Amino acid sequence: MVERQLTVILAADVVGYSHLMEADEERTHAAFRTCHAVIAELIARHRGRIFSGAGDSVLAEFASPVEAVRAAVNIQTDLAERSLDLPENHQMKFRIGLNLGDVIDDDGNLFGDGVNIAARLEGLAEPGGICLSHSVYEHVDRRLPLEYMDIGPQRLKNIARPIHAYRVTIQKTSENVLSISAIHTFATNWLAPRLGAFQTAHRDLGLRLEVMSRVVDFSREPFDVGIRTGNGRWPGLISHELMAEEFAPFCSPDFLAGAGEISAPSDLLRLPLLRDDDWWRAWFKAAGVADSEPKISSLAFFNTQIVVSQAALAGQGVALLTPAFFAPDIKAGRLVQLFNVIARNGSSLWLVYPEERQNSRKICVFRDWLLDEVQRSIAGALGSAS
């Protein structure tokens, strides 16, 4: 039965699909199936329905413009995150167009200008981007924490009238919410216990903290700032050094009691050493132990300090830890430092954010607070040591 209805059409298409197929048909086909499954799941989650799709395209409908745009943003964000570790020529990127219009419903399949406009708008989107008609924009502006670039009236193929269009900037988050990505141990042991004081001082600003080991792409992911280790040189980012990455050996009191005499750094070579070879080599070098080959524990390897610290607390060996991250355990005597030798690996912990967002109020407020808090923490540690 043929009916008419007002609905939001989402049109998605792979960028450079023919070129990808020419380069590697099997890999491209497998990648598209994976992406299509992600797209289908997110469309369904936002109460949409796929009604058509041929080759590398997807056509879906939504009752709500807000849900349609949310689905589009989540699709692009999810697909971008999945492809971060892939070479550029292996990444599968989609363009998405959205239009609200009156369409013909013929037994579940949709036809008409409303569909055609969405498909043409998709071609105006950047790779990995979204383009909206004005009919969608007027329903979502001020309702979603996004930035919209007005690109004006556009002449679209086989569409008689100009269509006013907008591009969506996906990485934008609410100015009232600061999104932070941070490495595991710093986030859990140092930052999280202090965030309550920050929110007490800045009640108008919400926080979203995500713990991750990988480096985020600010141009494609919804984060305002990141806390990462490295040398501080990342193109397009402003970096503030928080503290040097330094480490010393720690163990539990029970382990120390049963370890026998430990009077020189070289005595640690006969003990089960947790963490990784490179850190231990750096520490033994700093301690003046020449030609040492550390004996790493046969226990499972853990690549985060917070996990290896738990092994040390459980009496499983000696761990190299950053003292600033474990101050409560050290002060309470649950962790005992072996030798007053602190080693560094040339890396530091940095607060980073995009250059173009350096004047954002929420970033400036958090930056100033964090830098002050780090200085207080360092001053407190020096006072305790003296």
Model confidence over 104-123: pLDDT tens digits? Answer: 999 889 999 999 999 999 99
* H helix intervals, the chain: 17-23, 25-45, 65-82, 113-122, 134-140, 184-185, 192-201, 253-257, 277-286, 305-313, 327-331, 361-385
Residues 211 and 314 in one domain: yes
Q: Is the dihedral of CA 145, 151, 157, 160 positive or negative?
A: positive
3-state secondary structure of 219: coil
Among residues 169, 201, 226, the one where a domain terminates is: 169
Residues 182 and 139 in one domain: no
Among the residue ranges 1-10, 19-28, 163-172, 251-260, the one predicted with the least confidence is 163-172
φ and ψ at residue 88, rounded to 5 degrees: -55, -40
Residues 190 and 165 in one domain: no
Task: Kindly compute the dihedral angle of the four CA atoms of residues 313, 319, 322, 327, in this order, to the nearest 10 degrees.
Answer: 20
Question: Residues 3-21: what's their mean pLDDT?
Answer: 94
pLDDT for residue 171: 57
* C-alpha pair distances (Å), 284 with each of 184, 248, 267, 268, 281: 25, 10, 11, 9, 5
Range of the domain at 82: 2-169
pTM over 0.75: no
pLDDT for residue 172: 45
φ and ψ at residue 342, rounded to 5 degrees: -110, 125
Nearest to 251 by CA among 164, 311, 197: 311
Among residues 139, 169, 199, the one where a domain terminates is: 169
Q: CA–CA separation, 57 vs 94, rounded Å?
A: 9
Question: Residues 199-217: what's their mean pLDDT?
Answer: 88
pLDDT for residue 236: 86
Q: CA–CA separation, 229 vs 232, rounded Å?
A: 8
Residue-wise pLDDT tens digits, 339-383: 999 999 889 999 999 887 788 889 999 999 999 999 988 876 655
pLDDT for residue 170: 72
The model's confidence at residue 334, banded by pLDDT at 50, 70 and 90, is: very high
Is 281 within 8 Å of 231 (Cβ atoms)? Answer: no
pLDDT for residue 275: 72
φ and ψ at residue 245, rounded to 5 degrees: -80, 105
Residues 127 and 26 in one domain: yes
Among residues 169, 188, 221, the one where a domain terminates is: 169
Burial 193-206 (b: 16+ CB within 10 A, else e): eebeebeeeeeebe
Question: Residues 180-208: what's their mean pLDDT?
Answer: 92
Residue-wise pLDDT tens digits, 48-83: 999 998 889 999 999 999 999 999 998 998 888 677
Q: CA–CA separation, 298 vs 151, rounded Å?
A: 60
Residues 75 and 156 in one domain: yes
Instruction: Name which residue leads in pLDDT, 142 or 219.
Output: 142
Look up the CATH number of the domain holding residue 6: 3.30.70.1230
Residues 119 and 192 in one domain: no
Is 75 exposed, middle or buried (CB count within 10 Å of its CB: 0-12, 13-18, 19+)? Answer: buried
* C-alpha pair distances (Å), 209 with each of 3, 222, 337, 358, 369: 47, 12, 30, 19, 16
Is 168 within 8 Å of 217 (Cβ atoms)? Answer: no
150: left (phi over 0), alpha (psi -120 to 50) or beta: beta
The model's confidence at residue 90, banded by pLDDT at 50, 70 and 90, is: confident
Residues 307 and 272 in one domain: yes
- Residue 55 token pair: 């080759």
Residues 229 and 255 in one domain: yes
Residue-wise pLDDT tens digits, 232-251: 999 889 999 999 999 999 99
**Sequence-separated (6 or more) residues with CB below 8 Å from residue 244:** 344, 347, 348, 349
Among the residue ranges 31-40, 133-142, 211-220, the one predicted with the least confidence is 211-220
* H helix intervals, 174-214: 184-185, 192-201
pLDDT for residue 142: 82
pLDDT for residue 300: 45
Question: How far is C-alpha 358 from the geometric centre of its chain's CA atoms?
Answer: 19
Question: Residues 163-186: what's their mean pLDDT?
Answer: 84
Question: Residues 293-300: what's their mean pLDDT?
Answer: 59
pLDDT for residue 219: 66
Q: Which amino acid is at 277?
A: D
pLDDT for residue 136: 97
Beta bridge partners of 94: 14
Beta bridge partners of 181: 210, 226
Residues 186 and 332 in one domain: yes
Residues 182 and 165 in one domain: no
Residues 131 and 92 in one domain: yes
Give the CA angle between residues 233, 308, 262 to the nearest 5°: 110
- Residue 284 token pair: 């033994």
pLDDT for residue 345: 87
pLDDT for residue 312: 94
Number of domains in the chain: 2
Instruction: Name which residue leads in pLDDT, 225 or 217.
Output: 225
* H helix intervals, 103-171: 113-122, 134-140
Look up the CATH number of the domain holding residue 245: 3.40.190.290
pLDDT for residue 260: 93
pLDDT for residue 386: 44
3-state secondary structure of 85: coil
Residues 104 and 202 in one domain: no
pLDDT for residue 213: 80
Beta bridge partners of 249: 320
- pLDDT tops 90 at residue 88: no
Residue-wise pLDDT tens digits, 318-330: 999 999 999 999 9
pLDDT for residue 79: 87
